[in-house]
Amino acid sequence: MASRLESPRPSVRASAETTVFDDQATFAQLGVPAELCEVLRASGIDRPFPIQTATLPDSLSGEDVLGRGRTGSGKTLAFVLPMLARLDASPHERRARQPRALVLAPTRELALQIQAAMAPLAKVLSLRTMCIFGGVNQNPQVQSLRQGVDIVVACPGRLEDLISQRHLTLDRVEITVLDEADHMADLGFLPGVKRILDATPKNGQRMLFSATLDNGIDVLVRRYLTSPVIHSVDSEQSPVGTMDHHVLHVTNDDRLPVLVDLTSAPGRTIVFTRTKHRAKQLTKQLIAHGVPAVEMHGNLSQGARVKNLAAFSEGRATALVATDIAARGIHVDDVTLVIHADPPTEHKAYLHRSGRTARAGNEGTVITLATEAERRDVQQLTRKAGIQPTVTVLKPGHALLEELAPGTRVQRTSAEIAIALPATAQQASSSGRTGESGGSGRRPRRPAANAGGSTTSRSRSGSSRGGSGGQGRSGSPAGGSRSRGGSGRSSSRG
C-alpha cells in the first residue's frame, strides 16, 4: 500500500477548482472493490449517501479526512469501506496483539453496531475484527488479541487498560478512525483519546467523523490530522426534511396517559428521559399499562443493555426508554417515533435524541411533551435547534395522537409481556404500578382504531497539524461542491 507521504497530492489554492459530485455515482465508480460492492448489493444497499459520495474518493486514496454530518447520515460505511479496502491492499500481515486499524467509539452500543456493520464486509476479505469495551470480562478480548486481529473497534477506557497491561500495542496501526468525536468530548474522553492517538504511527491515515467541531474537536483536528480534506454534509444543526416535530402541551397528570397512548401504537418508539431514575420509573409504568418496554441507561450491566437492545431491535419490545446515553450510541433501524418525555436541557441534546428517527432517508416523527411550566424553555430549545414545531394543547384521547402514531392501540397482558421481554425488563415490571410520580396512573382513553438531495461542501483545511450505523435502503445521494486549498504543517503534535 503506497503511503500518502510517498506520493503527496499537488497543492491547490483555496477555491481554485470546484467539482460537482455525481449524485448517480455507484460505490464501484467511487472506487470501492467489487467484493465489497457485492456484499452491499446483497444487503439492499445500491447507492451511496452524500457523506459516502463525498469522502470515499479521498479516504480510499489515503487522505486524512474530516467528515461532518448528522447522525444517521451514513458515516459508518464512509469509513468502514475505505478502511477495509486499504487493509486488503496492504502488504502487511496480521500479527498477534498488533492490530492494523483502530476505530474509537464513545459508547459500547456504538462500538458493537460498528462491528456488526463491518463484519459481513470484512469476512469476504478474510479480515478479522473485534470489539473492545468495558463492563465485561476482559479475558475473551485478550484471547482474540493473542490470535491476531486486523481491526479493533474500541471504547477508550478499556483500550487503555489493555494497552497498559501490554495485551496490545498500536505501533502497527495503519488507519485510525474517530467516530462521533464530539460525543467523546462530551463524555470527557479527549485526554484518553489523545494518549491513544499519540501511540499510533504519525504517518498513518486518520479519519475523524463528528456532527460538530466544538468541545475541543478542533484541537484533535489540528494536532492529529495531516492536511485533512473536509467534507460537510448536513451539519447536526440542520433540521432533517423527513422529520416532523411536534410539541404537545399537557398537564403533569396527563403526561403518562398520553405517553401510553402513543407507545401503544404499532412501530418502534424511543422515549427519552433526563435521569436514570426517571427512565427506570417510566419503563415500569409503561409495562404496567401493557406496553412492552425496556430501559437503557448507565446503571445497567453490559449484559442487560445487550439483552434490552436486542429485544427492542427484534420488535419484542416496542418502546425503549433511555437517557441521553442512547442519543448517539444506539442505532436501530425503523424507529418511527421519538418522544421527549422530559424535554432536554439544551438544543444539541434535542437534535442528538431526535436523530434516532428519520435515519438514512426514512421518515420519522419527534414529539416533545411539555407542561405549562416547561413551555418557555421548550420554545427556546427548539429555536436554538433551528426547529419550528407544530404546537398543540391536548388531553388524552385527542385526535392528533392517532395522526402522530397511527394504527390500532395494543396493550398487552402481563403474560404476553413476560414472554416477550428479557428477565431484566420483567423484573422492572414487577414493581411498576400506577400512581407513581410523573403521571396519574390512569389508563388513557384510546382513540378509535385506524381512525431531495443534500449539498456537500469539500475544502482543504487551512489549519496546520500540531464515530447509524449502517445504511438504509431508501434516500437519495446528493451532489455538491468541492474546493481545495493548500495547508501547512507545524511541528506541534504534543
415 shares a domain with 286: yes
416 shares a domain with 458: no
Residue 33: predicted pLDDT: 97
**Distance from C-alpha of 380 to C-alpha of 73, rounded to nearest angstrom:** 26
Domain tally for the chain? 2
Is the pLDDT at 283 greater than 80, yes or no?
A: yes
277 shares a domain with 141: no
- What pTM did the predictor assign? 0.62
249 shares a domain with 170: no
Cell numbers 488479541: residue: 145
Smallest Cα–Cα separation from 209: which of 194, 226, 228?
A: 228
Within a domain: 491: no
Residue 57: predicted pLDDT: 96
CA trace torsion 290, 295, 301, 304 (10° rounding): 40
Please give the mean pLDDT across all residues of the chain.
Answer: 80
Lowest model confidence (mean pLDDT) among 282-286, 352-356, 402-406: 352-356
Q: Residue 80 has which C-alpha cell?
A: 468502514
291 shares a domain with 184: no
State whether residue 267 is helix, strand or coil.
coil
179 shares a domain with 303: no
| CA distances (Å), origin 84, targets 29, 47, 116 | 17, 18, 14
Within a domain: 194: yes
300 shares a domain with 161: no
Residue 324: predicted pLDDT: 81
282 shares a domain with 138: no
Within a domain: 206: yes
Per-range mean pLDDT, top range of 302-306, 345-349, 399-403, 471-475: 399-403
| CA distances (Å), origin 187, targets 107, 132, 222, 235, 295 | 9, 18, 21, 20, 20
Smallest Cα–Cα separation from 174: which of 247, 106, 261, 82?
A: 82
262 shares a domain with 200: no
**Range of the structural domain that residue 270 is part of:** 243-430
126 shares a domain with 45: yes
397 shares a domain with 279: yes
Cell numbers 431484566: residue: 424
> What's the pLDDT band for 160 if we cut at 50, 70, 90?
very high
Within a domain: 212: yes
φ/ψ of 235, rounded to 5, equals: -60, 160
Within a domain: 309: yes
- CATH number of the domain encompassing residue 338: 3.40.50.300
Within a domain: 1: no
Per-residue model confidence as pLDDT tens digits over 183-242:
888 778 899 999 999 999 999 999 999 877 765 788 899 999 999 999 887 544 444 446
Is the pLDDT at 20 greater than 60, yes or no?
A: no
The DSSP annotation for 418-464 comes to HHHS-HHHHHHHHT--TT-TTS--PPPPPPPTT-----EEEEE--SP
106 shares a domain with 214: yes
Within a domain: 391: yes
Contact of 184 with 131, CB cutoff 8 Å: no
Within a domain: 151: yes
